[in-house]
Chain A
Amino acid sequence: MDKDRGLDRKFAVPELIGNPDDLLIVCGLAGASKDIAHLTHDGDNIFTMAGAMGGATAMGLGLALSRPDKRVLVVTGDGELLMNIGTLSTVGILKPSNLSILCVDNGHYGETGYQESHTQRGVDLELIAQGSAIPVTRTVSMDEHINEAKALIRDSNGPSFILLRVSTEPPPVIKRSMDASERKTAFRRALLGKP
């Protein structure tokens, strides 16, 4: 096994996030959405996707700009992020202090048969985030990295980017709602008190 990919996402993602109740979370398709739907029991403070690949970070950025009073977390995967890598630059120029991005990087396209992604072949998304002017970045590849990164997700002064390098162990199994309109309405009712 790759020594930098020893962590299991089913352990590491919940450890990094802790209690998710005070966060607003936007999740990219596939593994990231399963991770967070499982963690929150498909809660009303999350918006998950099963398509619109490449949109999670921009959607979370829009939410963070809309609600500077709330902490917003984007959870995405390496493949999802690579599809719209320019969005990191948009985050970097705007620098919303209430936005964190957690990229669960397993180096593979898990949903389509675990083909290697670019990150398995030398591409470093943390360096890209740094080059995109995101002021706080970390790579988490071992247990001892988790506590510091966990604090940054909630408290960094400026947007933070956490690259979580994990093994190819699959995400948790969760039956989540695929009705994006119903989930949107539930999210808004919980946050805004109206549909």
Chain B
Amino acid sequence: MSDYGGKQAWQEELYDLLRSNDVDLFCYVPDGGHKTLINKSIEDPDVISVPLTTEEEGVAMCAGCHLGGTKSVLLMQSSGVGNCVNMFALLKNGQFPFVTLITMRGEFGEMNPWQIPMGQGVQPVVEAMGMHCLRAESPTEVTETVQAALNMAYKSNQAVAVLLTQKLIGAKPF
């Protein structure tokens, strides 16, 4: 087994950052790049950790959390963005605060051609749906970028996608 998605210091810090910003619900479709965040959310007794059948469920779920007063985050891979597009209309129409962290495939060093089309599509698609798109290319950028996204979401009612790029995570070796 490779250590793709294995524990790195920035992933631990990222979890702590989300928790210190009162993010209490994590929803996700299982993903290697998000393994640390997902496992920590499962182990955390104060967090609601929700596996989804498709990423678009997570978009609607995060909006429902906001109605109830809970901060949430949707973790997904770049391919999941394609499953969400119509549901992003809910965020825009309702001006819901929303943060999704997207582990990128299909870009820097990708070795699976099936990942390329949606990887290329992520940024234009999320921006076309009225969301902001921020990129983190190196470990030192992760914390400030995700904090910026949380501020834009929960203080300015914006929907924000943070791309955890393939340069940051590494190309998946299979």
The interface residues of chain B lying within 8 Å CB-to-CB of A184 are 66-67, 94-96
What does DSSP make chain B's interface, helix, strand, loop or mixed?
helix
The interface residues of chain A lying within 8 Å CB-to-CB of B70 are 62, 65-66
Contact between chains at A53 and B61 (CB < 8 Å)? no
A87 to B64, CA, bound (A): 14
**Which chain A residues numbered 105 to 150 have a C-beta less than 8 Å away from chain B?**
none
The interface residues of chain A lying within 8 Å CB-to-CB of B93 are 51-52, 180-181
Closest to B91 in A: A52
Q: Which segment, of B7-15, B46-54, B99-107, B139-147, faces chain A?
A: B46-54
The interface residues of chain A lying within 8 Å CB-to-CB of B90 are 49, 51-52, 55, 59, 180
- Find A59's partner among B51, B60, B89 (CB 8 Å cutoff): B60
Indicate whether B58 reaches chain A with its CB closer than 8 angstroms: yes
The interface residues of chain A lying within 8 Å CB-to-CB of B69 are 66-67, 188, 191-192
The interface residues of chain B lying within 8 Å CB-to-CB of A151 are none
A187 to B67, CA, bound (A): 7
Contact between chains at A86 and B57 (CB < 8 Å)? yes
Mark contacts of A88-100 with chain B using CB atoms, 8 A cut-off: 1 yes-contact digit, 0 otherwise.
0110011000000
Indicate whether B63 reaches chain A with its CB closer than 8 angstroms: yes
Contact between chains at A90 and B60 (CB < 8 Å)? no
Contact between chains at A53 and B86 (CB < 8 Å)? yes
The interface residues of chain A lying within 8 Å CB-to-CB of B53 are 86-87, 89-90
Contact between chains at A181 and B95 (CB < 8 Å)? yes
Closest to B57 in A: A58
- Find A52's partner among B51, B58, B67, B87 (CB 8 Å cutoff): B87
Contact between chains at B65 and A63 (CB < 8 Å)? yes
The interface residues of chain A lying within 8 Å CB-to-CB of B41 are none
Mark contacts of B54-91 with chain A using CB atoms, 8 A cut-off: 1 yes-contact digit, 0 otherwise.
10111111111111111010000000000000110110
| Total A-B Cβ pairs within 8 A | 119
Contact between chains at A54 and B56 (CB < 8 Å)? yes
Indicate whether A161 reaches chain B with its CB closer than 8 angstroms: no
Contact between chains at A181 and B25 (CB < 8 Å)? no
CB proximity of A91 to chain B, nearest CB, Å: 10
Mark contacts of B116-143 with chain A using CB atoms, 8 A cut-off: 1 yes-contact digit, 0 otherwise.
0000000000000000000000000000
Closest to B27 in A: A62
A-B contacts, 29 listed (Cβ < 8 Å): A24-B67, A47-B67, A52-B90, A55-B87, A56-B60, A58-B56, A58-B60, A58-B61, A59-B63, A60-B64, A61-B64, A62-B60, A62-B62, A62-B67, A62-B70, A62-B72, A63-B65, A65-B25, A65-B68, A66-B25, A66-B64, A66-B68, A66-B69, A70-B68, A86-B52, A180-B94, A181-B93, A184-B66, A192-B69
Interface positions of B (Cβ within 8 A of A): 25, 48, 50-54, 56-70, 72, 86-87, 89-90, 93-96
Further pairs besides A86-B57, A87-B57: 11, Cβ < 8 Å: A26-B64, A58-B61, A59-B63, A59-B90, A66-B64, A86-B52, A86-B53, A89-B53, A93-B51, A184-B66, A188-B69
